[in-house]
Structure 1
């Protein structure tokens, strides 16, 4: 969904690729193993966050020799990722195909007439989550999230929320905020989170809800300020990233009284439908091993992601809860297609 995520992933390999090479054995004793090259299909274009995650996973698998076959990364980002998900449906039973996506794999069918439902596919894991932060520009007349929304409710006519794309996670969060704060903040879609960050730094919009990595450059450049993070608890990262401030210094939006305890989206891995239990189990353990490597942990830390690993029933419950939460928002906005 989000096209801009992080531009610095390649530097991670310099410090940690050799640290644990060979430290984690291949899945040699699994009940099933692939005997053909494995396709890692990225539900996004080259260079975006989903693409970088897919290529990181490929690099880790190769470096640690987790597979006895090769991996191939393919980008199929058409239709906001729908191209990749339809490819999964068309290849039911294929155990050598994975798709890297986000919550778009299960939310897209709600807002677009597509030829699949996520239940026809095989969830493998959620390997991390992205937090969302309410950002405003440096020197704004409001100094926290509460006073920002007081200004919105007083006179929303000249205030705009920017975000990445339409009918997507940023606009969904904006609509949720309008509901919980009883406000009418207008949403302006841009091509990416990066563009939304640039527009905010230039004071062309009043706020955005970018992920941490999408606005860190502008924060370090003293152009924007994080007002609050949509999380039940403050972020765990205490190292200074912008002057004397760390991610842990950002208050939660719940502390600021915005009425949303938490809003995140998962980084997901799926297989086609109609694969065997042994095939699914193999890739669950493969993704688990990937997330346990130093490279992956460094990637999570650098991008201020939430360390997460969900599979099986907990992952299904997560998907169902997330879907139930946003469905009424989509309905009120007139987005539902089914």
Structure 2
């Protein structure tokens, strides 16, 4: 019986090694001893078309091609659902593949922490972080508040008197970004009234008066501010952003609120991505970050430059994971 058990273990190990063996053979067999992709590279945007993930992935693919950084064909595939969890599960199934990756951001940490995904960040292969985006808090143009301190004074008196709306689910980015800033301002965050709205309904709710504050990405506010529909009370960047309209948005810090939140966006490979492939993509994303084409893209969308290599990305996520766990526990949303 004991020999039979060991036989099963041995067979399982051989099957696992064989499953990853095809990718390893491709890596070892590359010309000049350096791996280069020989097949179409698939980047998963774990959300619908037009959102932050989709835009980041498609702009990266565009710049890779325009600058000749990666000559192999690249495609973007949208996997919608679960706050990103559907996309992560899909890439997790591509174990060992050097041809799959996904773009993600802080919900990659938040969603597993609040129990909505079985996949934690530790299970995937960090490649590189490339941009910093920033949360923004906006209200209708005719709202009574002209800055965050006026808003938070009302919320300190009665937190539930203000309805905050965001696209993400409770316990994910739009909710947590607002809660972290409100906490730093002295608001009882356990009593904040946060509602989730999909398909841009959050903007509609603020404009029709059914919600008071729109917690979103800064890029989602610019055109509405230009049109005279919204005013931005604060953004979480350490300094004012550059660019028309963006430069007019006050930061949280300049309103004496000690909170700085980055909605980073980075790329990850599946579990057990071959090291040679990881290193190849890491270097290519560095070239992308330093390119003129991607600098223009960052300026267009109000993104900050934030390249981190795989090791720096892993360390940063470890730190942010611990920080998010604390605030989710305070909100009673940690699982």
TM-score range, shorter chain: 0.7 to 0.9
Structure-to-structure mapping, 1:1-338, within 5 angstroms: 31-112=34-115, 114-166=117-169, 167-180=171-184, 181-183=186-188, 184-192=191-199, 194-235=200-241, 237=242, 239-241=243-245, 247-260=246-259, 262-337=260-335
Q: Is the 8 A contact 2:110 2:173 kept in 1?
A: no
CA distance in 2, matches of 1:45, 1:234: 29
Q: How far is the alpha carbon of 1:99 from its aligned partner?
A: 1.0
Aligned-pair CA distance for 1:60: 2.4
1:244 is aligned to: none
Structure 1's 86 and 162: CA in aligned 2 closer, same or farther, altered over 3 A? same
Judged with a 3 Å threshold, the aligned counterparts in structure 2 of structure 1 residues 35 and 228 are, in CA distance, closer, same or farther, namely: same
With over 3 angstroms needed to count, the CA separation of the structure-2 counterparts of 1:278 and 1:198, relative to structure 1, is same
The worse-fitting range, judged by mean Cα deviation, of 194-203 and 132-141 is 194-203
Give the total of aligned pairs: 301
Runs of 5+ unmatched residues, structure 2: 1-30
In the alignment, the residues of structure 2 paired with residue 251 and residue 68 of structure 1 have an alpha-carbon distance, to the nearest angstrom, of 41
Secondary structure in 2 matching 1:210? strand
Q: Relative to 1, partners in 2 of residues 1:142 and 1:68: Cα closer, same or farther, differing over 3 Å?
A: closer
TM-score (norm 1): 0.82
Deviation at 1:268, TM superposition (A): 1.3
Which structure has the highest helix share of the two? 2
Q: Distance in 1 between matches of 2:333 and 2:32?
A: 47
Partner-residue secondary structure (3-state), 2:47: coil
In the TM superposition, residue 178 of structure 1 has moved relative to its aligned partner by 4.1
SS of the equivalent of 1:62 reads helix
Q: Which runs of 5+ in 1 are unaligned?
A: 1-27, 242-246
1:193-229 Cα distance to aligned partner (Å, 9 max, x none): x332232233332212222211112211112211122
Please state whether the residue corresponding to 2:153 is helix, strand or coil: helix
Superposition deviation, residue 139 in structure 1: 2.6
Per the TM alignment, residue 29 of structure 1 is displaced from its structure 2 partner at its CA by 7.3
Distance 2:75 2:159 in 1: 49
Distance 1:305 1:288, change over 3 A: same
Change (3 A) 1:325 1:30: farther
CA RMSD of aligned residues (A): 2.2
Q: Which runs of 4+ in 1 moved over 6 A?
A: none
Superposed displacement of residue 143, structure 1: 1.9
Bigger radius of gyration, 1 or 2? 2
Task: Report the Cα offset of residue 323 of structure 1.
Answer: 1.1
CA contact (8 A) 1:39 1:72 kept: yes
